[in-house]
Structure 1
């Protein structure tokens, strides 16, 4: 039996990172897991992996963490759609983190990088969106900009430094187990179950089981072609209203209401009120006017034939992923508080 070489997973106590660590261990691949806070070990209980402290804003920490690593799964990033200072807290962190980790990987002699990008880095002007369409021309969202520009920087640096790099672009990741704090995708389900989405925003999400994304990352390391990008999502998206309807069917005892359809000017007004309220309370708004402008009506339908044919990616349905995630949240009501 061929001895597998060491892999490092950054952002290993996040939703995708932790599931990826568990998948690699099941495949008898030795894993080093990097986290920003070495004392945050709860998600690694009973896992036979090495964990180290490393921060994507600190290049030296990754040069050290990547010593002896053959495959680097670059999962760690700032994953949020809102911040008090979005340029500094989202864009700069993701761009500098990309540069730091890829330069560190080259210095440490890493052979291959699986760079976790996002479907945010796709051009949606032609549907279904596919990898060859290029990058998202809409520059109104800072997180989307960071994923667009970050992926392009990753390819540029990898080519310049002579490191093999494949990019994977996940959709909205869900599954049968969540980690606190809840990620953005689980946050949407929390709002639905807590009856905090009264109107139809016409915002869609492309739900995907996080375990399928973890498998896709592994397949990208094994079969992905250097310099290529692969969508790890389902073919069709679902509106938040359709997602609410699914939750209503699964849990009739909750008496969930299907969000009412309202004219777009009313959506903007509601979002403006939510922004003002959130500013007063010092927390993220449930909905912003930018969300309506950028995402309302945006169809996130994808052609995933490239990932299917080249990687062997075969995801479970969006409905399956949602059912698993909703079931987990209903069994762990403390996460809904």
Structure 2
């Protein structure tokens, strides 16, 4: 495998960049795609080929995919809100998936590890497992996009005869990061005391390097058309997360977020959505998000990932502490009262 070229789409992103680093440590030749070819900071000291491409631009993908055997399809739009969510989130992710597989077929790529998400899982039976099927709740555009992209990736893999293995990460945090991802930003907000209320939404923290390892092993030994959850088995609440941060950094004087009832959260979210329509900025909370996730324990059955991929993630508390240390010490600008 070391004589082949592996391509990682979205190499400047959190997972993509960590995956590149892992592959290079295995003496694998790596090419990566980025939308902004002038952003060199994420690749300092990395011996990889960097090309400009976008999953929505088929011509750019044709140039990037030439000579590639193994493709890690990481790039996607990870947004919970947009001015035009159908176009900016759903269409971007669905059309991007279609383009990646169409051009992969055209270029003779043999293997694809496709990065899906736990957002595509059915949560009506916990712990969530891939055998439960897909998420039937259609209220969130991002979740819909991952749900349908996941199905499309399996369908196209079979249609084109490309071995396709899917990985479904949970809330990816920790180093290395060259911009704050959605999940790392949430940890950053915890450090800054910007979580005033407990929305009763749980989290499932997972270390980015564990996900990169899972992606690599999915390429090496994952089963065709199989979906592998890359998460911890048990969730962490917002209150637990703030408590861990408070104990780690008592000088920040972080306050335990107050619990408020669902009906009040729902009302506040509605007001925030109305303000968002006027300002064109993302609301801090949305009603459908409260409805979907209030009280939901994001626990996962990772039996298949352990068995097939040798997946053994670091415990969520350990992962969160590492992320807290990284963001406080390497990003700085944490407010101290």
- Counterpart CA distance in 2 for 1:61 and 1:253 is 49
Q: What corresponds to 1:117 in structure 2?
A: 116
Report the TM-score when normalising by structure 2.
0.96
Partner Cα separation in structure 2 for residue 287 and residue 306 of structure 1: 34
Distance 1:281 1:56 in 2: 30
Alignment of 1:46-57 (within 5 A): 46-57=45-56
Q: Following the alignment from structure 2 to structure 1, what is the Cα–Cα distance between the partners of residues 59 and 176?
A: 33
Deviations 1:253-286 (A, max 9, x none): 1111111111111112222333344444432122
Query: Quick one: distance in 2 between partners of 1:336 and 1:122?
Result: 35
Query: Offset of 1:179 from its aligned partner?
Result: 2.0
Q: What is the alpha-carbon distance in structure 2 between the residues aligned to residue 231 and residue 247 of structure 1? A: 27
Match of 1:157?
156
Q: How does 1:250-289 map to 2 (within 5 A)?
A: 250-289=248-287
Question: Matched residues in 1 for 2:287 and 2:2: separation?
Answer: 53
Counterpart of 1:24 in structure 2 is: 23
Aligned residue among 182, 185, 194 for 2:183 = 185
Structure 2 spans left out of the alignment, 5+ residues: none
**Aligned pairs, how many?**
335
SS in 2 for 1:332: helix
Match of 2:225 in 1: 227
| Structure 1 vs Structure 2 CA RMSD | 1.4
Once the two structures are superposed, what CA deviation does each residue of 1:36-73 show, in whole Å capped at 9, x if it has no partner? 11111110011000010110001121122111111000
Q: Deviations over 1:215-256 (max 9, x none)?
A: 000000000011111001110111222111111111111111
Name whichever of 63-72 and 18-27 sits farther off: 63-72
> CA contact under 8 A between 1:177 and 1:325: conserved in structure 2?
no
Retained in 2: the 8 A contact 1:176–1:327? no
Residue 59 of structure 1 corresponds to which residue in structure 2? 58
How far is 1:336 from its partner?
5.6
Q: Does 1:137 align with 2:133?
A: no
- For 1:265 and 1:216, the matched residues in 2 are separated by 39
TM-score norm. by structure 1 comes to: 0.96
C-alpha displacement of 1:334: 4.5
